[in-house]
Structure 1
Amino acid sequence: MIYIQKLRIRPKKTQPYNLCGVQLSAMLSCWAATSDFQSQAACRDSAEALFHCMRTTPPPKKGPKPTINYHLARLSKKIQ
């Protein structure tokens, strides 16, 4: 007979997709090239593009929670 005291799995961690990554890298590269950290002259366009992207992008939605741990706990009662 199989005895499983506690059996749990961890869900896969997915890498978050950064929707404004292109604009952020453009602003950081502009800062590195021109040392315009206040974004007043040369980096103004890239900073405004990043701010616009951050304002208009919807927040990420959480997906459904995996139910495998629930089913494992339910089956462990039948195995014991």
Structure 2
Amino acid sequence: MPKLIKLKVKPRKADVINPCVPELTAMLGCWAVSHDLKNTGECAQAAKNLAECMKTSSGSRKVAKSTINYHLARLGKGLMR
């Protein structure tokens, strides 16, 4: 039986979750249609909605760390005997 030195799993890349995507899409769509890049006319409300969303949403959210490597290392110790 071959000896296992280390067992490890490569972590998945975390999905980026941005809660303000609809507001950003609305503002960019407004810009594309009306060419109002200064947000003075038609796009002012869309810009306010985006700014409010960005202000209220927290920028950093902690993602729970996977414990799979811990458990593999723990099981690997038993296999090496």
Partner of 1:71: 71
Say whether the 8 Å CA contact 1:2–1:79 is kept in structure 2. no
Displacement of 1:7 in angstroms is: 2.0
Displacement of 1:23 in angstroms is: 0.7
RMSD of Structure 2 on Structure 1 (CA): 1.8
How many residues of Structure 1 are paired with residues of Structure 2 in the alignment?
Answer: 80
2:48 and 2:16 mapped to 1: Cα distance?
23
* Matched residue SS, 2:16: coil
Q: What does the per-residue CA deviation read over 1:5-58, in whole Å, with 9 as the maximum and x for residues that have no partner? A: 332112333433321111100000001011111212221110011001111112
2:25 and 2:63 mapped to 1: Cα distance?
28
1:57 and 1:9 mapped to 2: Cα distance?
32
* Matched residue SS, 1:3: coil
Partner of 1:6: 6
1:62 and 1:45 mapped to 2: Cα distance?
31
Partner of 1:48: 48
* Matched residue SS, 2:29: helix
Partner of 1:61: 61
- In the alignment, does 2:22 pair up with 1:22? yes
Percent of counterpart pairs with the same letter? 41
One-letter amino acid of the structure 1 residue matched with residue 43 of structure 2: C
Query: Which TM-score applies when normalising by structure 1?
Result: 0.80
